[in-house]
A and B are shown apart, each in its own frame.
Chain A
Amino acid sequence: MRGARLSEAGWGYGFVLVPIVVFGLFFIYPFIYAIYISFLHWGILGKQPGSSGTYNYAKVLHDPVFHTALKNIAEYTIVVVPLELALGLSLALLINQKIRGRNFFRSAFYFPSIASSVAITTIILFIFSANGLFNHIFGFSTDWFGDGHTVLWGIVGLNAWTTSGTVMIFYLAALQSIPTDVYEAAALDGTRAWRTFWKITFPLLRPAHFFCLVVFGIGALKLFDQAYIIGGPSGGPNYATMTPILYIYNEAFGNYDFGVAAAAGVVYFVIIFGLTVVQRLTVGRQEAA
């Protein structure tokens, strides 16, 4: 028996060996290494001997471009997340009916979520260009994604649309877990549909609201692809599309300053981590109650 136990343990370690090495080497170690690099002078001339102290951190925290990036991502997230949730929930409510062609509509609404961000952003840039299809139909002449005043809101619209399908899938799962006798009771009460929704369905979906808020909130804070594709690595026009992740990328591969890029990475990690903790303590506590 003892031999079998030992052998089982041996096989167990053997099975998890490669995954553990991969996680250690490409997740745990980089996490520590990034913090280490953030305290070095590591610029275009390569790694310099000695510590830089808090120089890189001071540089990031006093950089107006980083401030712009934080301001942009705050505005973006605060608007895009409620929009994604509202759109996704509306789609889920539509799909969650006893109707024909349910699967077709579900796939149709989900489709933009699976299409590549590069392709879909490119297509939208085409349609919303100054002399594109959208302006032709609605009689505008704005270059929606080329104008610093509208570009961020353009990305909000684009991503609210493409993400709503994924949100819908999560809400659908949650809606299907609500027992139907809850509705039957409401119907016997003679409660109208709109009231049933606000008084019963919406509160019962609370775990789903919380889950989506966290998942899509963090997702929004990581905006990169669309910003890079639309505004380029330097976040143009005039930093209107600069986001924290793009800032890190640009410090590393535009300005070749790995020290500052690593410091910005640490700062942004702390910000997101802090937000998650605050959210757990406020919304999450209500959720648990």
Chain B
Amino acid sequence: MTAQTADAEPYIPRRARSDVARRALLYALMAGIAAVFFVPFIWTVSTSFKTIPDSVNFTLIPHPWTTAAWHTIWRQYDFELYFKNSFFLAAVIVACNIFLGGLGGYAFARLRFPGRDLLFLLVLGTIMVPDQLRLIPIYVMLTNWHLIENFDGYILINLVTATNLFFMRQYFLTIPRDFEEAAKLDGAGHFKTFWRVMLPLALPAIGALTILQFQGTWNDFFWPVVLFSGNTSHYTVQLALQNLHTEYTTLWPEITAGSIIAIVPVLVVFLAFQRFFVSGAVTAGVKG
């Protein structure tokens, strides 16, 4: 724990020997914490390959080893459908946020039009409007428009978020103007400049946005529970898992298999784009 002067160490050569011991302790501590962090997940994976009678035992290795729970949850409990639902929603919403957030972000960063700053302030103001206040009005609006219990309504209210637009704008501000001027000399219009020049240059920002928004939509529980609760064919993985857990409290092999299905896609995206993830999380300042 008391290791904050790592940078300063070379200036105190006398401590070199105790430094080795300190280092060993540090590694042991970190490995210990990582192990504690992983135990619940390892136990979950193990249980998902157990039979129901075996799932109450405290042995790490399943006996007998079976993939029955995985088959049951994927086919009988329709997680195949819910997986597709979640994936579809996440993909569409990520694409819309890249395009609309990019388009709006670019305009607020670079184009000049009367009232721009006021409109931008309005956009930022929406971050202050909490979901609990939007809950009833949006439920009423979507019901009136017959968009309740279907994907269109959910996608509509998530087309673009102020956070994503702000994030894209901040990135566009860091791109030198030379690129646009070159495009302008080539006779490219404003949309073409955005689409062909600026958006490709913003790839790191798009990467971070994709990961954060994918995570946000994939993990979202609040709006799916409000909008899809009455229609099982529109369940997302999260909603289905919560429902499975409520209905069959002791079906642990199936429930743990479902939990893994609910985590793995985000884990895969995280491992693939870690670099974007960490810098993006700091810049955007959000966790869904």
Contacts and interface: CB of A to CB of B under 8 A. Distances in A.
Interface in B254-288: 255-256, 258-260, 262-263, 266-267, 270-271, 274, 277-278, 281-282, 285, 287
Contacts of A52: none
Chain A to chain B: the 8 pairs with minimum beta-carbon distance, closest first: A187-B8, A12-B113, A30-B137, A15-B107, A12-B111, A27-B126, A19-B104, A9-B113
A250 B261 CA distance: 28
Interface string A210-227: 000001000100101100
A55 interface: no
B132 A93 contact: no
Interface string B2-44: 1111111101100000000001001101100110011011011
B101 A19 contact: yes
Contact of B27 (A99, A106, A188): A99
B4 A122 contact: no
Contacts of B222: 224-225
Given A112-B37, A116-B266, A249 B4 contact: no
A127 B43 CA distance: 8
Contacts of A272: 130
Nearest to A261: B136
Interface in B121-137: 122-123, 125-126, 129-137
B262 A118 contact: yes
B74 to A, nearest CB: 16
Given A19-B101, A127-B40, A197-B4, A28 B29 contact: no
Given A8-B111, A12-B113, A30-B133, A173 B282 contact: yes
Interface in A105-155: 105-120, 122-127, 131, 133, 136
Interface string B104-127: 101110011110100100110110
Given A12-B113, A16-B108, 15 more contacts: A12-B111, A19-B103, A22-B100, A34-B133, A37-B140, A111-B37, A113-B287, A118-B219, A123-B44, A126-B47, A126-B255, A187-B11, A196-B5, A225-B222, A266-B133
A13 to B, nearest CB: 6
Given A118-B221, A122-B255, A265 B132 contact: yes
Contacts of B44: 123, 126
Given A12-B116, A34-B137, A118-B262, A103 B274 contact: yes
Interface string A79-99: 000000000001101101111
